[in-house]
Amino acid sequence: MRFEATRETLLGPLQALIGVVERRQTLPVLGNVRVQVDEPGLRLTTTDLEVELVAHVPCAVVATGTTTLPARKWLDICRNLPEGAEVTVALEKERAVLRSGRSRFTLATLPAADFPEVESIGNVEQVTLPRSELRRLIERTHFSMAQHDVRYYLNGLLLELGPQVTRAVATDGHRLALAEVAGGGAVDEARQVIVPRKGIQELLRLLTDVDETTTIEFAENHVRVELGSIRLTSKLIDGRFPDYQRVIPEGGDKKLLVDRQALRQALGRVYILSNEKYRGVRFLAEGDRLSVGSHNPEQEEAEEELEIEYGGPRVEMGFNANYLMDALAAMDADRVEVILTDSNSSGLLYGEGDQTARYVVMPMRI
C-alpha cells in the first residue's frame, strides 16, 4: 500500500472523521482510521460502533492495500505540516511510514480485518432536502434531547419522514421542540425513526449552510446521509417515541406577543439570581406588561419588566429559564407568541406568524 496526496487533501477529511473517534475505546482498533487504497483513490473510515463516517479522498495511488492508522496522531501530523506539503504514506511490514519533505514518521498499524464496518443497511426509503434546511431542522430542536435518560428513546432526535413534510422532534420530558420543513419522500404515510444523540451531533457538525441537496436514507436499523464526499451512517434507537402531538397545548386562551431579543436578554439577567438547582423564573402578565422575576435561597431577587401586547386576564406562571432561553435562541422571528393557559399547564412558544417551529415548556412551582 502506497499513496501520495497534499496536506490539505488529507487534513479536511481527517478533521471531518475524527468526531467519532473516542479518546478511550473498548477496542483499540476504534482509535484508528481504516485506510483503503484502490484505483479510484483513498477511502477513510472511522466508527464508534454507533456512528460510522466514511470519506472518499482523491490521491495518487502507487500501490493498493488496506490497513488502519492511529486517527488522532495522523491528524496531528497533518495539522503541523507546512501548507501545501506533499505527503507520501507507505505500508512497510507492520508499520506505516509517512514522508513529507525532510520529515519522516513511523506509525503503528492494526489489522484492517479487525475494523468493524457497516457494509449494507438493506432496503431504504429516501428523502432529499437542501443541506441548509436539514441543518436548520436539527439546530431548532437538538437541544431538547435528553441525556442519559433511562427512557432511552428520549436520548435522540425523532425524524419523521412524510409524503409532504419532514419533521424533527426532541423532548427530555420537561420540554419539547418541534420543527418542520416542506418536502418529503416517496412514502404513502409518515415514517418515524429515532437518531441517537451522537449521530445528531456529528451530522450537525458536518452540515454546512450551502444550497446543495443531501439525501437521507432510512433503513430498518440505520439512517445514512450523503454529504458530498462524506457519508454518515448511524444506528437507530429501537423504541417508540412519545405521541408528541398530545404534548402540544391546544386551546390556550392567554396569548401575548413580546420582542424576542428583549425577552431573551431579560431572562439572561434574571437567571443570575435564580435558584442554582432549579433555575426557575416567574412570569406575570397583566395589561401591557410582562414581569419576569427570580429569587434564591439567599433571599436575593431580580425582576425585569417588558412591554407586551396582551389583552387577557392577569396570569402568573413559573418556568425553567434555561428551557426558555434555548427556545428563544433557536428562533428567527423578531417577536414571539407565547400561549398560556394556567399555572398548571405547559406554555407554548413560536415565532410571530410562524408555527414551523414550536416549543413546549412544562410549568414550575416558584
Q: What pLDDT was estimated at residue 186?
A: 63
pLDDT along the chain (366 residues), means of 10: 97 96 90 95 95 96 97 98 97 95 97 88 83 94 96 96 90 97 74 95 89 88 93 95 93 92 98 95 96 96 97 94 98 96 94 96 92
For the chain, percent helix, then strand, then coil, each to nearest 5?
Answer: 25, 45, 35
Residue 189: count other Cβ atoms within 10 Å of its Cβ. 7
Give the homologous superfamily in CATH for domain 2-114.
Answer: DNA Polymerase III, subunit A, domain 2 (3.10.150.10)
Residues counted in the chain: 366
- In the block, cell 490521491 appears at 59
Helices H / strands E in the chain, number of each:
7, 25
Q: What pLDDT was estimated at residue 118?
A: 81
Distances (CA, A) of 185 to 38, 201, 234, 242, 318: 34, 23, 19, 23, 41
SS3 assignment, position 263: helix
- DSSP single-letter state for residue 81: S
10 Å CB burial of residue 238 (0-12, 13-18, 19+) is: exposed
Distance from C-alpha of 58 to C-alpha of 152, rounded to nearest angstrom? 40
Report whether 23 contacts 4 (CB < 8 A).
no
C-alpha cell at 342: 394556567
Distances (CA, A) of 259 to 328, 351, 354: 10, 10, 15
Radius of gyration, alpha carbons of the chain: 25
- CATH code of the domain made up of 249-361: 3.10.150.10
Q: Closest Cα partner for 92 from 104, 109, 113?
A: 109
Report whether 135 contacts 208 (CB < 8 A).
yes
Distance from C-alpha of 174 to C-alpha of 320, rounded to nearest angstrom? 9
Q: What pLDDT was estimated at residue 25?
A: 82
Q: What is the dihedral of CA 121, 126, 132, 135, to 10 degrees?
A: -50
125-245 and 249-361: identical CATH topology: yes
Q: What is the dihedral of CA 15, 146, 156, 267, to 10 degrees?
A: -70
Q: Closest Cα partner for 204 from 83, 341, 51, 22?
A: 51
Report whether 87 contacts 4 (CB < 8 A).
yes
Strands 175-182 and 354-361: antiparallel
The contacts of residue 93 (CB under 8 Å, 6+ apart) are none
Q: What pLDDT was estimated at residue 169?
A: 98
From first CA to last CA, the distance across the chain in angstroms is: 66
Map out the domains of the chain as residue ranges.
2-114, 125-245, 249-361
Domain 125-245 fold:
DNA Polymerase III; Chain A, domain 2 (3.10.150)
Q: How much is the pTM?
A: 0.92
Q: What is the distance, to the nearest Å, from the Cα of residue 192 to the centroid of all Cα atoms in its chain? A: 17
